[in-house]
A = this chain, B = another copy of it.
Amino acid sequence: MSRETLLPPLAAYVMQHGLADASLRPLAKAAGTSDRMLLYHFGNKDALVAALLEYLAGMFADALDTAFPLQRAPSRRACAKTVYDITGRPEFAPFLRVWWDIVAGCSNNNAAYFDAAGGIMDVLLDWVVDHLPEGDPDPQAGARAVMTVIEGAQMLRSVGRPDVGEAGLAALEG
């Protein structure tokens, strides 16, 4: 048993139950150990969560690449719509649940969450840049515009107002 062995089942548990109320004993049970051992391997809960966040960010990046490989979108709007649709698929729901826990943690000034969130956004931003149309006049600005609309639409979908976000997606120019 090591961190590397422990992280996958721990991440699976978090994806199913959310990050906010993941406590040591249930986590340990999910990974087939005891809270005692989690603390032995990670030091304390904060370090565990930090390791978990990093691992989950990697999982998210992999999942994105698997779900939507190399091809470029025909337009900014199409790129945004594609990401929106992909992340709306059931297999992405656990990621979003964790994501909103992370965002909430950021607003409560949790440094680890803040770092993780920034990293995840950077990964997603790069990913969008690489999937923008070939001839986009300003891929950096384009990716930012696309990201903003995607995230807004995802949030609105999460709170039960998908129509609002989808109208926002449709209004994206380019």
Q: List residues of A whose CB falls within 8 A of some B CB.
A: 18, 20, 96-97, 100-104, 106-108, 114, 117-118, 121-122, 125, 141-142, 144-145, 147-153, 155-156, 158-161, 163-165, 167-173
Contact = CB atoms under 8 A, between A and B. Distances in A.
Given A145-B168, A148-B167, A104 B106 contact: no
A107 B118 contact: no
Given A108-B97, A141-B171, A155-B103, A149 B149 contact: yes
Given A96-B107, A144-B168, A151-B151, 15 more contacts: A18-B104, A100-B103, A100-B104, A101-B104, A103-B155, A106-B158, A106-B159, A125-B164, A144-B164, A145-B168, A145-B171, A148-B164, A148-B171, A151-B155, A152-B153
A103 B159 contact: yes
Nearest to A140: B167
B152 A121 contact: no
B155 A141 contact: no
A15 to B, nearest CB: 12
B118 A160 contact: yes
A20 B161 contact: no
A108 B20 CA distance: 10
Nearest to A121: B161
Contacts of A118: 159-161
Contact of A121 (B122, B153, B159, B167): B159
